[in-house]
Structure 1
Amino acid sequence: MPAAASSASSRTISRARRLSVGVALLAAFVALYAFSNRTALGQSLENSWARLYDVDKTLGHHLDFGGIVPPFTFDIETLVAGVGAAVVIALVRRRWRAAVLVAVAMPIVVLGTSLFKQVAGRPELVPSLDTEVSYPSGHAGIALVVTAALLIVAPPRLLGWCFAVLGAWCLLVLGGLQAEGQHRASEVIGSSLLTAAVIVLVDATTRRRGASLRDTLRSTRRPGRAGLAAAAVAAVAIAVIGAWCPVWWPMPFYAAAALLATALVCAAALLARDAG
Structure 2
Amino acid sequence: MVVMFSETPSATSSTAPRHALVTAAASRTVLLIAAAAGCAVAFVVAYLLFVRTASGQQAENGVVRSAQSSRRSTVDWAAPLQHADLVVALGGVAVLVLAIALARRRFALGVTALVLLGTPMLAAQLLKIYVLDRPGLNDGSAVASHNSFPSGHVSAATAVVLALGVVLPARFRTWVLAGGSLGVAWVAAATVALGWHRLSDTVGGCLLVAAVVCAGAAVVSARRPDATGVAPVPVLVTLLAPSALVLGGYAVLATATSAAAQFVAAMVLAAACSAAVVLLVAGPLRRVNFDPARAGSRLSR
TM-score (norm 2): 0.69
Aligned match of 1:107: 118
Q: Which runs of 5+ in 1 are unaligned?
A: 68-72, 215-245
Residues 36 and 212, structure 2, Cα contact 8 Å, conserved in 1:
yes
Q: Is it true that 1:257 corresponds to 2:284 in the alignment?
A: no
Q: Is it true that 1:6 corresponds to 2:6 in the alignment?
A: no
AA of the residue aligned to 1:121: D
RMSD across aligned positions (CA) = 3.0
**Cα distance, 1:76 vs. partner?**
1.4
Q: Is it true that 1:209 corresponds to 2:224 in the alignment?
A: yes
Deviates more, 1:18-27 or 1:91-100: 91-100
AA of the residue aligned to 2:142: L
CA distance in 1, matches of 2:91, 2:187: 18
CA distance in 2, matches of 1:180, 1:101: 34
Which fold has the larger relative contact order, with Cα–Cα distance below 8 Å and residues 6 or more apart in sequence?
Answer: 2
Residues 189 and 271, structure 2, Cα contact 8 Å, conserved in 1:
yes
AA of the residue aligned to 1:105: L
Aligned match of 2:252: none
**1:30-179 → structure 2 map (5 Å cutoff):** 30-52=44-66, 53-54=69-70, 56-57=72-73, 58-59=75-76, 62-65=79-82, 67=83, 73-94=84-105, 98-118=109-129, 119-125=131-137, 127=139, 128-130=141-143, 131-155=145-169, 162-163=176-177, 166-179=180-193
CA distance in 2, matches of 1:212, 1:6: 7
Residues 147 and 166, structure 1, Cα contact 8 Å, conserved in 2:
yes
Residues 24 and 226, structure 2, Cα contact 8 Å, conserved in 1:
no
CA distance in 2, matches of 1:253, 1:140: 15
TM-score (norm 1): 0.75
Aligned match of 2:206: 192
Give a deviation string over 1:217-250, Cα, whole Å, max 9, x none.
xxxxxxxxxxxxxxxxxxxxxxxxxxxxx94652
CA distance in 1, matches of 2:167, 2:39: 23
Residues 179 and 254, structure 1, Cα contact 8 Å, conserved in 2:
yes
**Cα distance, 1:266 vs. partner?**
4.1
CA distance in 1, matches of 2:227, 2:87: 34
Deviates more, 1:55-64 or 1:10-19: 55-64
**1:197-276 → structure 2 map (5 Å cutoff):** 197-207=211-221, 208-209=223-224, 211=226, 247=260, 250-274=263-287, 275-276=300-301
Give a deviation string over 1:94-125, Cα, whole Å, max 9, x none.
55775354232221101101110122110112
CA distance in 2, matches of 1:16, 1:89: 30
Deviates more, 1:85-94 or 1:22-31: 85-94
Residues 196 and 268, structure 1, Cα contact 8 Å, conserved in 2:
yes
Q: Which has the higher helix share?
A: 2
Count of residues in correspondence between the two structures: 240
CA distance in 2, matches of 1:96, 1:137: 30
> Which structure's CA Rg is the greater one?
2
**Cα distance, 1:200 vs. partner?**
0.4
Q: Which runs of 5+ in 2 are unaligned?
A: 1-14, 230-258, 288-299
CA distance in 2, matches of 1:256, 1:209: 37
